């Protein structure tokens, strides 16, 4: 059974963590994720959630606590943003190597400097190669659902990898949206109690994170890469079973009016909803335009992406982060790499937009596409720079 309510997305996320019967919450407040952990602290304090809430002294400590708690078999959760992620990044890489099924929500926010609290994707792109499963949420329902999906996939004994859910700061975190919330029986049918495969225990010693010399380091990294690539079937299984239960099906690549599209716009996160309005407008004007939304960021769904843009003549990639001194944004680099070996590939134009919270309206997307038609595809453009 489910009920639809109007709720701030951060509160819905916290409610999902509660319904997931999380054991350990370790977090440090940082805008714009603070409402999530504030509500979780309230739930624990009021006895509504039987968990340990650990108010640590930094984000580095938050991930350290989750690494330790997950290693002893506790269902563990944290969330952060921007500079907080930068501070915890040392341990983020360790958690994935140790194959610990931690769930983290990342309220995407621009990295300093200059100091800014608004949304872009520079924080997540700083750890794109950290070895975690990573998805982007487009709306509040996506966020709520992926708390359960994240744990289900991460804790699968054939997977055992940490899971990161990206939600755009303020654009999602502080918005009140209609959320279809599952009752506890429904959650329990989808998400069973965590049964860890290996745990740290003084009575049964195991080694985790041991020193490795050059002779074996390459093999350990190869195994880690294969594990992340091999997680795709379990992600797909988690989405399929969630859809069968709720009627909400998720896919690595979400398509909108791409069947006959010659021009395809590519987005990540909440901009997808705005971009779809622009696509509708272009279609009404007779333009053969479509939209592809990248939901699964790691492991990157190469096959699904190539299928989605097959037949397109122009692909316009919207990045919300800059790869300084490089050929453009991180997402565009992935797209160009994915298409490089194709015999027939579309022209790829990279536009960096919406950084630091700069608004991108439907008419901006239309203007971006008009400009992209004239572009050679070399380099990139930062949209909205004042002359």
Q: Check whether the bond before 299 is cis (ω within 30° of 0).
A: yes
Tokens 């994720």 -> residue: 33
pLDDT band at 183 (very low <50, low <70, confident <90, very high): very high
Write the pLDDT tens digit of every residue in 293-314: 999 999 999 999 999 999 999 9
Alpha carbon 106 to chain centroid distance?
Answer: 7
Q: Please, what is the Cα angle at 125 between 8 and 234, to 5 degrees?
A: 75
Average pLDDT over residues 23-33: 98
> Please, which residues bridge with residue 292 across strands?
255, 266
Q: Which helix (H) or strand (E) holds 94?
A: helix 82-97
Q: How does the average pLDDT of the chain come out, rounded?
A: 97
Residue 304 pLDDT: 98
Residue 323 pLDDT: 96
Q: At what angle do helices 140-154 and 9-19 cross, to 10 degrees?
A: 30
H helix runs in 137-263, sequence order: 140-154, 184-190, 214-229, 232-246
Of 82, 67, 65, 66, nearest in space to 30 by CA: 82
Residue 102 pLDDT: 98
Q: How many beta carbons lie within 10 A of that of residue 175, not counting itself?
A: 15
Of 60, 139, 120, nearest in space to 93 by CA: 60
Residue 218: pLDDT above 90? yes
Residue 251 pLDDT: 98
Q: How many beta carbons lie within 10 A of that of residue 287, not counting itself?
A: 17
How many residues are listed for the chain in this entry?
Answer: 387
Write the pLDDT tens digit of every residue in 159-168: 999 999 999 9
Tokens 């930062």 -> residue: 382
Write the pLDDT tens digit of every residue in 112-141: 999 999 999 999 999 999 999 999 999 999
Alpha carbon 110 to chain centroid distance?
Answer: 15
Token reading at 112:
């300093």
For the chain, helix, strand, coil in percent to 5 are 40, 20, 40
> Among 185-189, 199-203, 261-265, whose mean pLDDT is lowest?
199-203
Q: Which burial class, exposed, middle or buried, applies to 216 when counting CB atoms under 10 A from its CB (0-12, 13-18, 19+)?
A: exposed
Residue 270: pLDDT above 90? yes
Residue 230 pLDDT: 98
Domains of the chain listed by start with CATH number: 2-246 (3.40.50.970), 253-382 (3.40.50.920)
Q: Which burial class, exposed, middle or buried, applies to 247 when counting CB atoms under 10 A from its CB (0-12, 13-18, 19+)?
A: exposed
> Could you give the 3-state DSSP secondary structure of residue 173?
coil
Residue 1 pLDDT: 78
Strands 263-267 and 314-319: parallel
Residue 88 pLDDT: 98
Of 334, 336, 329, 331, nearest in space to 382 by CA: 329
Average pLDDT over residues 5-24: 98
Of 77, 97, 127, nearest in space to 223 by CA: 97
pLDDT band at 18 (very low <50, low <70, confident <90, very high): very high
Residue 36 pLDDT: 98
Residue 195 pLDDT: 94
Of 119, 59, 55, nearest in space to 83 by CA: 59
CA distance 80 to 231: 24
Does this model's pTM top 0.95? yes
pLDDT band at 145 (very low <50, low <70, confident <90, very high): very high
Tokens 């989605």 -> residue: 308
CA distance 290 to 280: 9
Of 330, 231, 251, 248, nearest in space to 293 by CA: 251
Write the pLDDT tens digit of every residue in 34-72: 999 999 999 999 999 999 999 999 999 999 999 999 999
Write the pLDDT tens digit of every residue in 230-244: 999 999 999 999 999
* % of the chain beyond a pLDDT of 70: 100
Write the pLDDT tens digit of every residue in 331-366: 999 999 999 999 899 999 999 999 999 999 999 999
Residue 387: pLDDT above 90? no
């Amino acid at each position: 059974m489910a009920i639809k309510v109007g709720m701030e997305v951060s509160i819905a996320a916290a409610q999902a963590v509660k319904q997931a019967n999380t054991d350990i919450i370790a977090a440090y407040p940082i805008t714009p994720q603070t409402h999530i952990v504030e509500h979780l602290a309230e739930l624990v304090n009021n006895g509504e959630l039987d968990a340990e809430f650990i108010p640590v002294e930094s984000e580095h400590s938050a991930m350290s606590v989750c690494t330790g708690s997950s290693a002893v078999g506790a269902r563990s959760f944290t969330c952060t943003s921007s500079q907080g992620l930068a501070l915890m990044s040392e341990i983020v890489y360790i958690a994935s190597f140790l194959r610990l099924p931690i769930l983290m929500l990342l309220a995407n926010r621009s990295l300093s400097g200059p100091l800014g609290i608004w949304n872009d994707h520079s924080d997540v792109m700083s750890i794109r190669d950290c070895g975690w499963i990573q998805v982007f949420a487009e709306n509040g329902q996506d966020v709520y659902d992926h708390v359960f999906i994240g744990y289900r996939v991460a804790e699968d004994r054939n997977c055992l990898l940490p899971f990161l859910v990206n939600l755009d700061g303020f654009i999602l975190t502080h918005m009140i949206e209609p959320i279809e919330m599952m009752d506890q029986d429904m959650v329990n049918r989808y998400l069973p109690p965590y049964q860890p495969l290996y745990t740290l225990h003084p009575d049964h010693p195991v080694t985790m994170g041991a020193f490795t010399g050059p002779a074996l380091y390459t093999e350990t990294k190869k195994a880690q890469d294969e594990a992340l690539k091999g997680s795709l079937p379990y992600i797909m299984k988690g989405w399929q079973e969630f859809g069968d239960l709720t009627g909400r099906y998720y896919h690595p690549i979400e398509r909108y009016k791409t069947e006959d599209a010659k021009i395809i716009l590519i987005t990540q996160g909440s901009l997808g909803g705005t971009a779809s309005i622009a696509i509708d407008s272009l279609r009404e004007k007779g333009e053969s335009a479509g939209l592809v939304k990248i939901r699964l960021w790691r492991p990157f769904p190469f096959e699904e992406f190539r299928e989605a843009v097959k037949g397109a003549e122009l692909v316009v990639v919207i990045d919300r982060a800059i790869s300084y001194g490089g050929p453009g944004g991180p997402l565009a680099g992935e797209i160009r790499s994915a298409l490089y070996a194709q015999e027939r590939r579309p022209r790829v134009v990279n536009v960096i937009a919406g950084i630091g919270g700069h608004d991108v309206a439907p008419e901006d997307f239309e203007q971006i596409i008009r400009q992209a038609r004239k572009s050679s595809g070399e380099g990139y453009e930062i949209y909205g720079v004042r002359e």
